[in-house]
Structure 1
Amino acid sequence: MVEVTVEEFVACSPEAFLALVMDPRRYAEVDRKLGRIDWVHSEGDVTEFRFRSALPGLGPGPKVVSRMTLTPGRRVDVRLPDRPENRLVRRVSTFEAYFECVPVDGGIRVRRRIAFGFAAPLRRLVEPVLRRRLRADVEAEVRGAKRLLER
């Protein structure tokens, strides 16, 4: 498994940061792992969207559906739901991620965690590349969100 956790101070409210995350089309401006977005469906605190995935150093991947669940003012959990579109990806890999916001003086401390695991046939090929490239990608993503919100 390849896991990366990044923390960053952002001068905004938890609600502003989490609203950005819950808007996949807008968040795609700062996250290179989100390729072309086909559709977005939101209902209450849950947003699902289908997009072309792209992992750093590995190029474009398959289209997947991601589900984001908001805990208002605190965090967004991201998973690949059990849907037909995700059948192949869920068979060969695991994915989990979250964004957590903790209020601090003048803004928030954002914690972004993302983790990928792969089945044995892919593990030796994919995980070494992700170990080298994922941290820098996630750091750039969080810095991009910070710049977008602090303008």
Structure 2
Amino acid sequence: SPRPREDGSEGEHPPVTPLRWASEAECRDKGAWDLYCLICRHFLAALAPDCSTRETDVRLDLDGFQMLAKSVHRATDDFAWCDVPGSEWKPEGPVDLSDLPNPDLPETSVYSIVTSELSQHVTQAPSHLTEGELVALMDQHGIGTDATMAAHVAGIVRRGYVKL
């Protein structure tokens, strides 16, 4: 197993932090400017206070149909890391109730359904790829090499994922 050196240092570098303000014109290209902005955003977010949130889960039983809805609200309006531009957080969950004025519902409450709507949608399968398009996509995503491409294609055909 690896062992630290006597002084306990493993050669870690200090965190990457902005040393001074820079303008977009001072950066060599768009990639350098984007990297500088990312470093600044992370630096400011690291210094900012925690972002407190309140989460509410609503489990619905509509005549045997189960549904989970989740609401995530900020618990305070004080400045926090999520206020740093580019650090926005988004509520998560199957159904977002964050727009509700007060998501706090007493536990085991019973409510009447005011309106309901049933809609039907049909998905469509994606269009088929040619073998050349498949190989190009595999190359684009770094799957295989020129020497192994044929073996990869043969493997997915053999497994029944595609038909040629």
Report the TM range for the smaller structure's normalisation: under 0.3
More helix by share: 1
Larger radius of gyration: 2
More strand by share: 1
Query: Which gives a bigger RCO, structure 1 or 2 (Cα 8 Å, sep 6+)?
Result: 1
